[in-house]
């Protein structure tokens, strides 16, 4: 049998030198690349094709924005861990939002999570339409259910069946014993070998997911090789086999599973990093048409993006950052406050003094006529203006983060269509009672980077995707009574390699410490990759 000797290596020396240079200064080891898939806004056409929304007001109307703000408040009052923070005067969870417009009345319950994606799990792979949530940790799927949503039916009679996970039908599935460090209820286990149970209770009364932890493979495709023939990454992860779902989960909040993206060890980003699939970082990018992208292992790739440190709590850390100044139309104000970057919230919510400082400065610099009409009383936004043919430019808005980097809000406005044919623009900022939340509307146009290795939030201007590199969820055929959203959908991989038309989008401070960290990381990566190369 032939053996490999290091001394027999006959490739020219320049090739090895080039490989080392590439590893140090350009190209990462493939094992530490990024893995991505597309996600979609709850009210984008692809998701609406599967999760039919009845009685949703027309997009862009005052009632639509009222409904979305209601959804934000319900979800923040009913979410897990860091949620349940909105003021007590907001609409209670599960309370219907009712408003009349002429002869029509809309009644809306909690409108579910904001973003959804198809993920494939098990062998053979089975796909699930899961809600994404940076405010919770556990990834769970409906599994051998005693109480869960098996399908939805719209008022028109269209039926949508969901896949249900079963460990017994997956050859790669395994149990998680109580002795596992990820087991949350170890003290309640009769023996270390007993299957680990879990129960996640949400702050909404009666909403929970209960079951056992299991292991199985999550099928993902590397971002750098988006072709259909590229090899899937089969990442072994721990997740919840949800046997009993209660409360809002039975009313459509997360009907086919929840994908937690929080900071704890049990979250998928943490698991992917621990097992060496990616670095402990991920990014989310939000396009203007409801399509976005998540990339695990994305830490920004270079020093040309803004960043600020997380304010980490010892118990249940969240993606909380500090803002030191606001700049409206070039006028800066010293106002220090902390805020949570929450990708699952539609709009941005600030309390005083930050809210008043921004809105009053914006209003004083806006030359357009401020709108005042009972027809827009349902709008959650306080500062709205009539659009005229001679409309002037609106003030810019920047947030200066702790550390000095600028976060330019690329489009802080929302546009409102009125029944009489008129058009308004509003500052997309809502007054909050006791919590500050930077919502998706302020993140649009950026890759938001959650770097958990360095405990920093980053942002880089990006168009999110190109038509050639993004897959989309199929819209269910309108003439079919059965629309299975999972079985016909492959995991959605996206190509981030060289396709982002991006600029820094932020004022930069001296980044030499970051460059040193990146250099050290690349040195370690190079050593690992060379060791792997010579041992093959």
**Residues recognised as catalytic:** 133, 342
DSSP-derived secondary structure for 67-104 = HHHHHHHHHHHH-STT---S-TTSPPTTPPEEEEETTE
User: Is the previous residue joined to 124 through a cis bond, with omega within 30 degrees of 0?
Assistant: yes
What gap in Å lies between CA 532 and CA 222, rounded to an integer?
19
User: Is the Cβ–Cβ distance between 282 and 154 less than 8 Å?
Assistant: no
Q: Cα dihedral angle (507, 513, 517, 518), rounded to 10 degrees?
A: 40
Q: Is 274 exposed, middle or buried (0-12, 13-18, 19+ CB in 10 A)?
A: exposed
Beta bridge partners of 332: 327
End-to-end CA distance of the chain: 16
101 in Cβ contact with 374 (< 8 Å): no
Give the integer Cα–Cα distance in Å for 111 and 493.
27
In degrees and rounded to multiples of 5, residue 299 shows phi and psi of -110, 20
Phi then psi for residue 531, to 5 deg, are: -60, -45
Report how many helices (DSSP H) and strands (DSSP E) the chain contains, helices first. Answer: 7, 28
**Per DSSP, what are the bridge partners of residue 384?**
426
Phi, psi of 68 (to 5 degrees): -70, -40
* Residue written as token pair 């709850």: 42
Residue by residue, DSSP assigns 190-204 as SSTTSBPEEEEE-SS
CA distance 245 to 235: 26
| Residue 281 and residue 310 in contact, taking contact as beta carbons nearer than 8 Å | no
Tell me the two tokens of residue 335: 């106002």
CA distances from 219 to 122, 262, 468 (A): 8, 20, 22
According to DSSP, residue 286 is labeled E
Q: Where are the alpha helices (DSSP H) in 144-302?
A: 268-274
What are the φ and ψ backbone dihedral angles of 146, each rounded to 5 degrees?
Answer: -95, -35
- How far is residue 116 from each of residues 60, 409, 486, 492, measured CA to CA in Å? 21, 24, 12, 12
């Amino acid at each position: 049998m032939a053996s490999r000797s290091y001394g027999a290596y006959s490739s020219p020396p320049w090739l090895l030198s080039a490989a080392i240079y590439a590893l140090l200064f350009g190209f990462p080891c493939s094992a530490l690349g990024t893995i991505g898939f597309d996600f979609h806004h709850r009210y984008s056409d692809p998701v609406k094709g599967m999760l039919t929304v009845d009685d949703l007001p027309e997009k862009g109307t005052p009632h639509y924005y009222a409904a979305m703000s209601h959804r934000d408040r319900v979800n923040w009052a009913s979410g897990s861990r860091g949620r349940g923070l909105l003021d007590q005067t907001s609409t209670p969870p599960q309370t219907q939002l009712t408003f009349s417009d002429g002869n029509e009345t809309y009644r809306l319950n909690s409108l579910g999570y904001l973003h959804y994606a198809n993920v494939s799990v098990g062998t053979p792979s089975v796909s699930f339409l899961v809600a994404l949530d940076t405010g919770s940790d556990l990834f769970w799927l409906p599994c051998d259910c005693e109480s869960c949503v098996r399908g939805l039916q719209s008022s028109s009679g269209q039926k949508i069946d969901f896949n249900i996970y079963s460990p017994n039908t997956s050859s790669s599935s395994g149990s998680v014993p109580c002795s596992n460090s990820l087991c949350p209820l170890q003290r309640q286990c009769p023996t270390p070998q007993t299957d680990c149970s879990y129960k996640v209770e949400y702050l909404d009364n009666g909403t929970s997911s209960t079951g056992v932890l299991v292991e199985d493979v999550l099928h993902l495709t590397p971002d750098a090789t988006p072709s259909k023939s590229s090899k899937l990454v089969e990442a072994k992860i721990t997740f919840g086999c949800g046997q009993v779902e209660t409360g809002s989960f039975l009313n459509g909040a997360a009907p086919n599973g929840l994908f937690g993206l929080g900071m704890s060890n049990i979250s998928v980003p943490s698991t992917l990093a621990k097992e060496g699939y990616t670095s402990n970082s991920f990014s989310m990018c939000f396009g203007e048409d409801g399509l976005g992208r998540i990339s695990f292992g994305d830490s920004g790739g270079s020093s040309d993006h803004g960043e600020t440190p997380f304010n980490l709590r010892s118990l249940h850390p969240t993606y909380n950052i500090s803002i030191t100044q606001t700049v409206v139309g070039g006028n800066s104000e010293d106002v220090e406050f902390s805020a949570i970057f929450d990708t699952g919230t539609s709009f941005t919510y600030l309390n005083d003094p930050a809210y008043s400082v921004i809105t009053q400065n914006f209003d004083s610099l806006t030359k357009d006529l401020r709108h005042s009409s009972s027809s827009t009383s349902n709008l959650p936004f306080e500062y709205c203006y009539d659009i005229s043919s001679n409309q002037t430019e609106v003030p810019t808005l920047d947030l200066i983060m702790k550390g000095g980097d600028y976060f330019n809000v690329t489009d802080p406005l929302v546009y409102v269509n009125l029944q009489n044919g008129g058009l308004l623009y509003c500052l997309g900022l809502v007054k909050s009672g006791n919590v500050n939340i930077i919502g998706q509307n302020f993140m649009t146009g950026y890759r938001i980077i959650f770097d958990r290795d360095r405990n920093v939030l980053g942002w880089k201007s990006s168009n999110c995707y190109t038509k050639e590199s993004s897959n989309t969820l199929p819209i269910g055929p309108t003439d079919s009574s059965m629309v299975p959203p999972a079985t016909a959908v492959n995991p959605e991989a996206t190509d981030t390699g060289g396709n982002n038309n991006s600029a820094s989008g932020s004022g930069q401070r001296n980044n030499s410490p970051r460059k040193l960290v990146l250099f050290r990381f690349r040195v370690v990566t190079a050593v690992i990759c060379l060791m792997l190369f010579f041992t093959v």
